[in-house]
């Protein structure tokens, strides 16, 4: 499958127009430099690492991908203190040319406050200007290979190809056996992002020291008043999560060196970390309280951090503990991981609020608003013991929707309301759904139904290998296979889309990068509908959403090779 670009033909290093950039070439060049950085780290050649980072941060490809990242993410329309956003192709290509080290001075961040998960406290969030976001994204391209190569094996937050499901699976492995540790230190770092020592970061983070120091000391504006920053890395900066991870890396290595003797671990000390949240297991309460906790506190103190005395506690596995929205507990010796009660209640409150605020919206609009919430929440918890919880949530949402429907028609009978808003699908009699104007190939209206959260299958998560590095070429096949399984799982039941994805070698014909569950996709007509093209799969191809926008902007034509089979 190929893409024909009329009149562009510009190479990645000479592109004068945003839509003329050879994105496949940019990805290839950056990927090659990142792989060389990993190899240099493994060989202990730190001078070569620094030289390769310089090449990457001064390359056109790195700058173009950095600008593309900050102009395609969810915050692309949110300006910093200068009020500037890059929304046009001209502003984007000019931004690529403006990313220079010489004379660069970051501006203060725009400080806002967002509610924490508990809803009672507010969390500070810093919004950098677009140019500062792009500079951070550029230097992150050169820093991330270092961070991944030197990271703790059981650190899972804010890392490529890792997720909360991996962290929870590691909890299961550390606690499930009959002879596993029975005590858990639930650690909470006080204001982690805000308290990290600037001096420690500049001394230990292998990146451009001058640029890093400027970011850390840029300060922020709140109500038009400038505030300086003496510590911490701002939440909201693209590079901040990686800096935080690298600050805490080394904790697991230190604990292993102290408590493991070869393959033996008599104290049963294991750590599972997701960003700044972590748990440490131990054979006895005394090991955790008198030895492990002081060791952790000393490690954190060197970095300007400390544990929260109010939230840090030691728990027995029979009492259970909450971690990443899950409740981990043993029942009569059997470990069960379930959705945490607080998380379930918070989700139900959100659903009820959504329905309450949709008193006047159309039937199909409410379904389209609820389905992403239900599907996303179910996908998050479908790897644990959640079948009973899914059934309960399904019942609660049905009650909420029934009240919503009755309130809309106070003068109608219950039978009339049921016939208007609920359908019979197979053996299910109370399916919230409606017929839409779209028609299927049979000529019948398409039935739009609420996502059946109770029918979500429970499936054990395949944990990532601890040593896997997405920037190391020797792991490339492993990650491609994981991405393939994840994509096939997301397309389960949609046979035609699966065949279409496999037919184009699982990649986007515009940028030649893999189409994955994370990247998302859009369907593009080979022959446009305005030119007589049909909605058949033989006339469709899968593109990344941004590549689809580029194709429409330039009028690109997607051509299927002769060997590609229609569906």
pLDDT in tens, 308-357: 999 999 999 999 999 999 999 999 999 999 999 999 999 999 999 999 99
**Alpha helices, DSSP H, located in 120-163:** 130-150
475-497 burial by CB neighbour count: b if 16+ within 10 A, else e?
Answer: beebbeebbeebbeebbeeeeeb
498-526 burial by CB neighbour count: b if 16+ within 10 A, else e?
Answer: eebbebbebbbbbbbbbbbeebebbebbe
Burial class (CB in 10 A: 0-12, 13-18, 19+), 28: middle
pLDDT in tens, 181-191: 999 999 999 98
For the chain, domain boundaries: 341-455, 473-554
Which class would CATH give 473-554? mainly alpha
pLDDT in tens, 143-169: 999 999 999 999 999 998 899 999 999
Say yes or no to pLDDT of 243 above 90.
yes
Query: Per DSSP, what are the bridge partners of residue 115?
Result: 122
Distances (CA, A) of 334 to 12, 167, 271, 317: 57, 19, 21, 10
> pTM for this structure?
0.86
Q: Which residues contact 298 (CB under 8 A, 6 or more apart)?
A: none
Task: Specify the pLDDT at position 4.
Answer: 45
Task: Specify the pLDDT at position 7.
Answer: 39
Task: Specify the pLDDT at position 503.
Answer: 81
* Res. 556 pLDDT band, cuts 50 70 90: low
Q: What is the mean pLDDT of residues 94-116?
A: 91
SS3 state at 156? coil
Q: How far apart are CA 179 and CA 385, in angstroms?
A: 22
Say yes or no to pLDDT of 504 above 50.
yes
* Res. 180 pLDDT band, cuts 50 70 90: very high
Q: What is the mean pLDDT of residues 113-119?
A: 74
Q: How far apart are CA 229 and CA 242, in angstroms?
A: 19
Q: How far apart are CA 449 and CA 60, in angstroms?
A: 47
Say yes or no to pLDDT of 496 above 80.
no
* Res. 561 pLDDT band, cuts 50 70 90: very low
For β-strands 109-115 and 220-222, DSSP reports them as: parallel
Instruction: Walk across the sheet containing 220-222 and list its strands.
Output: 122-127, 109-115, 220-222, 225-227
Of the candidates 17, 243, 230, 236, which has an alpha carbon nearest to the alpha carbon of residue 129?
236
Say yes or no to pLDDT of 559 above 50.
yes
Q: Between 149 and 500, where is the model more confident? A: 149
Say yes or no to pLDDT of 562 above 50.
no
Evaluate whether 326 touches 168 at the Cβ level (below 8 Å).
yes
Say yes or no to pLDDT of 387 above 70.
yes
Say yes or no to pLDDT of 555 above 90.
no
Q: Between 440 and 475, where is the model more confident? A: 475
Phi–psi pair at 252, nearest 5 degrees: -65, -40
* Res. 8 pLDDT band, cuts 50 70 90: very low
- Helices (H) and strands (E) counted in the chain, each on its own, are 20, 18
Task: Specify the pLDDT at position 11.
Answer: 42
**Alpha helices, DSSP H, located in 156-260:** 164-175, 192-195, 198-204, 209-216, 240-248, 251-259
* Res. 527 pLDDT band, cuts 50 70 90: confident
Say yes or no to pLDDT of 302 above 90.
yes
* Res. 124 pLDDT band, cuts 50 70 90: confident
Distances (CA, A) of 500 to 14, 52, 527, 528, 567: 34, 38, 16, 18, 8
Instruction: Walk across the sheet containing 334-339 and list its strands.
Output: 321-323, 326-331, 334-339
Q: How far apart are CA 367 and CA 352, in angstroms?
A: 13
Task: Specify the pLDDT at position 106.
Answer: 94
* Res. 512 pLDDT band, cuts 50 70 90: confident
Q: What is the mean pLDDT of residues 513-524?
A: 81
Mean pLDDT of the chain: 88
For β-strands 422-425 and 428-439, DSSP reports them as: antiparallel
Task: Specify the pLDDT at position 483.
Answer: 84
Say yes or no to pLDDT of 275 above 80.
yes
Query: Per DSSP, what are the bridge partners of residue 277?
Result: 188, 274
Task: Specify the pLDDT at position 12.
Answer: 45
* Res. 511 pLDDT band, cuts 50 70 90: confident
Of the candidates 341, 339, 393, which has an alpha carbon nearest to the alpha carbon of residue 370?
393
Evaluate whether 476 touches 469 at the Cβ level (below 8 Å).
no
Across 238-242, 291-295, 426-430, least confident range: 426-430
Say yes or no to pLDDT of 73 above 90.
no
Across 121-125, 194-198, 213-217, 347-351, least confident range: 121-125
């Amino acid at each position: 499958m190929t893409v024909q670009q009329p009149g562009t033909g510009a190479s990645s290093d000479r592109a004068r127009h945003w839509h003329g950039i050879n994105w496949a070439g940019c990805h290839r060049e950056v990927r090659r430099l990142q792989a060389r950085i990993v190899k240099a780290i493994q060989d202990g050649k730190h001078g070569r690492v620094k030289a390769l980072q310089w090449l990457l941060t001064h390359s056109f490809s790195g700058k173009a991908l950095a600008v593309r990242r900050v102009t395609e993410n969810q915050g692309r329309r949110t300006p910093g203190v200068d009020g500037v956003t890059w929304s046009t192709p001209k502003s984007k290509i000019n931004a690529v040319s403006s990313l220079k080290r010489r004379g660069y001075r970051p501006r203060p961040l725009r400080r806002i406050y967002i509610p924490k998960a508990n809803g009672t406290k507010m969390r500070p969030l810093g919004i950098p200007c677009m140019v500062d976001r792009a500079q951070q994204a550029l230097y992150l391209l050169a820093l991330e290979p270092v961070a991944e190569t030197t990271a703790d094996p059981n650190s899972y937050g804010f890392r490529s190809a890792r997720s909360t499901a991996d962290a929870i699976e590691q909890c299961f492995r550390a606690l499930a056996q009959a002879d596993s540790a029975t005590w858990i230190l639930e650690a909470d770092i006080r204001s982690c992002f805000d308290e990290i020592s600037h001096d420690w970061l500049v001394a230990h983070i292998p990146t451009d020291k001058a640029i890093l120091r400027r970011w850390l000391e840029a300060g922020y504006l709140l109500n038009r008043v400038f505030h300086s920053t003496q510590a911490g890395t701002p939440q909201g900066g693209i590079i901040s999560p990686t800096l935080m991870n690298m600050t805490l890396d080394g904790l697991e290595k230190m604990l292993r060196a102290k408590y493991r003797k070869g393959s033996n671990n008599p104290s049963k000390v294991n750590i599972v970390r997701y960003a700044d949240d972590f748990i440490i297991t131990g054979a006895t309460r005394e090991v955790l309280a008198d030895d492990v906790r002081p060791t952790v506190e000393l490690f954190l103190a060197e970095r300007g951090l400390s544990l929260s005395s109010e939230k840090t506690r030691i728990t027995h596995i029979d009492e259970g503990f909450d971690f990443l929205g899950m409740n981990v507990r043993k029942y009569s010796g059997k470990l069960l991981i379930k959705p945490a009660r607080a998380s379930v209640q918070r989700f139900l409150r959100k659903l009820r609020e959504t329905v309450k605020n949709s008193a006047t919206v159309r039937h199909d609009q409410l379904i389209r608003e609820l389905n992403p919430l239900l599907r996303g929440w179910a996908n998050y918890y479908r790897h644990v013991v959640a079948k009973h919880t899914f059934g309960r949530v399904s019942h609660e949402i049905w009650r909420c929707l029934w009240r919503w429907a009755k309130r809309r028609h106070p003068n109608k009978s219950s039978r009339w309301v049921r016939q208007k808003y609920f359908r019979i699908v197979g053996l299910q009699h109370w399916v919230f759904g409606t017929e839409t104007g779209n028609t299927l190939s049979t000529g019948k209206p398409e039935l739009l139904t609420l996502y059946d959260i109770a029918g979500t299958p429970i499936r054990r998560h395949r944990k990532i290998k601890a040593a896997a590095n997405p920037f190391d070429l020797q792991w490339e096949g492993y990650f491609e296979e994981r991405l393939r399984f994840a994509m096939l799982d997301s397309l389960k039941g949609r046979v035609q889309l699966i065949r279409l994805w496999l037919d184009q070698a699982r990649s986007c014909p515009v940028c030649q990068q893999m189409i994955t569950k994370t990247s998302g996709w859009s369907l593009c007509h080979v022959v446009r509908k305005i030119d007589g093209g049909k909605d058949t799969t033989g006339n469709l191809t899968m593109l990344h959403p941004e590549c689809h926008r580029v194709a429409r902007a330039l009028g690109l034509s997607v051509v299927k090779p002769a060997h590609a089979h229609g569906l």
